Amino acid sequence: MVYYILYELIYSRFKDQDWYLVKALNVFQYVTFRTAYASVTAMLISLLFGRKLIEGLKRWNIGQQIREEGPQAHIAKRDTPTMGGLLIIGSVVISTLLWARLSGLYIWITILATLGFGAVGFADDYVKLVKHRSLGLTGRQKILFQLIIAIAVWLALYISTQYFQTKYSWDVSIPFFKSTADPNGISVIGPYLYLALVTVVLLGATNAVNLTDGLDGLAISVTFIAMTALTAFTYLSSDARWANYLDLTHRPEAAELSVFCGAMAGASLGFLWFNAPPAEVFMGDVGSLAIGGAVGTIAVLTKQEFMLLMVGGVFVMEALSVMVQVSVFKMTKRTSGVGRRVFKMTPLHHHFEMVGWKESKIVFRFVILAILFALLSLSTLKLR
């Protein structure tokens, strides 16, 4: 909205006039400028409305339910306001609508996918509150709704390429392999196989972020770091000069996704103000599923599906710990009758709690790992 008013409406109409203030509006055409201000705007919205949201959640008795089998230190967190993810979603969407150029398909796919996954999380949180237990929707219900949204994302891309001449290549860009950056190269798998990839990426990202959300400030800190890295990836892949130099799949349509990523990074910092230990509010599934959906959708649209494994390394670690724990337990129970565990408790951050690490130490160390993963992913851009 700000872009259209100040650039499309005012600058485009009066740019031939020798007016200094009007000429200064030319800066709004640059995505880097709008990304920076989208980040600041989202952070300010979070900071300004965070306290009011927390007070409202307390008034409505929207408190966190704690698993009885979890670490005992978490019992003190019972009834802490949850569903704070509404603040993140609102900040990101409002900031994006203000600063992004909204004529492209990709920005709308990302916004709607984020809202869709957030709606699933909202339903999950609502069921928890109604039933006063730590489990909301069943696993099958959540997977079904997430699958529907993933198919909708693929369908939007498929229809746009078939009927509206939108350019989208059904290839898989694999890190370290230069030839896979060619949209018509050896890694083209076609739209139907790509549906499977989209499903795996989106469902994997949403559930990985959801599993990471278990300690004060952990998930949102890792989100800020991952989104900062994705902001760089979206900008580089949308700029022809950088994409050609780094052998990335050039996605000019993804330029406005930088604005969205910047807004998410800013909203993460604003939410962290209230979620830092001891947390005054939790994001809930409405926040974690929305963030995961946004991360996965951006990875798909910018052809960074495999790089996402490195960018979101901490999310991957958390998800893998659960998968390993469940697989080993079932396998050993089937073979010996006694289920064995690799970790004391999963997700991984709970394992370190059970071995005696303080919560703040776990969060800081995971944040360090997240920074290392982000730097590693950025450092490999030219290694092809």
Residue 211 located in a structural domain: yes
Residue 217 located in a structural domain: yes
Sequential pLDDT tens for the chain (384 residues) = 777 777 677 756 666 676 656 667 777 788 999 999 999 999 999 999 999 999 999 888 876 665 555 565 656 667 789 899 999 999 999 999 999 999 889 999 999 999 999 999 999 998 888 776 666 788 889 999 999 999 999 999 999 888 777 778 888 888 877 777 777 778 888 899 999 999 999 999 999 999 999 899 999 999 999 999 999 999 998 888 888 888 777 788 889 999 999 999 999 999 999 999 889 999 999 999 999 999 999 999 988 899 999 999 999 999 999 999 999 999 998 888 888 899 999 999 999 999 989 999 999 999 999 999 999 999 888 776
Residue 60 located in a structural domain: yes
Looking at the structure of the chain, the number of domains it has is 1
Contact 249, 183 (CB under 8 A): yes
Query: Which of 74-99 are b and which e, b meaning 16 or more Cβ less than 10 Å from the residue's Cβ?
Result: beebeebbbbbbbbbbbbbbbbbbbb
Residue 25 located in a structural domain: no
Q: Which domain holds residue 347?
A: 32-379
pLDDT of residue 18: 67
pLDDT of residue 15: 67
pLDDT of residue 216: 93
pLDDT of residue 187: 83
Gap between the Cα atoms of 77 and 240, Å rounded: 49
User: From the CB of residue 375, how many other CB atoms can be counted at a distance below 10 Å?
Assistant: 12
pLDDT of residue 69: 56
> Does 183 sit behind a cis peptide bond, omega within 30 degrees of 0 on the bond before it?
no
Q: How far is CA 172 from the centre of its chain?
A: 20
Q: Which helix (H) or strand (E) holds 48?
A: helix 31-59
Residue 74 located in a structural domain: yes
Which pair of tokens denotes residue 213?
């959300």
* Residue found under tokens 């830092």: 276
Q: Which helix (H) or strand (E) holds 240?
A: helix 240-246
Contact 127, 302 (CB under 8 A): no
Report DSSP letters for 324-345, one per residue.
Answer: HHHHHHHHHHHHHSS---SSSS
Give which of 284, 279, 291 is closest to 224, Cα–Cα: 291
3-state secondary structure of 347: coil
pLDDT of residue 100: 94
Contact 64, 282 (CB under 8 A): yes
Residue 4 located in a structural domain: no
Report the alpha-carbon angle 377-382-384, nearest 5: 100
Residue 125 located in a structural domain: yes
Residue 8 located in a structural domain: no
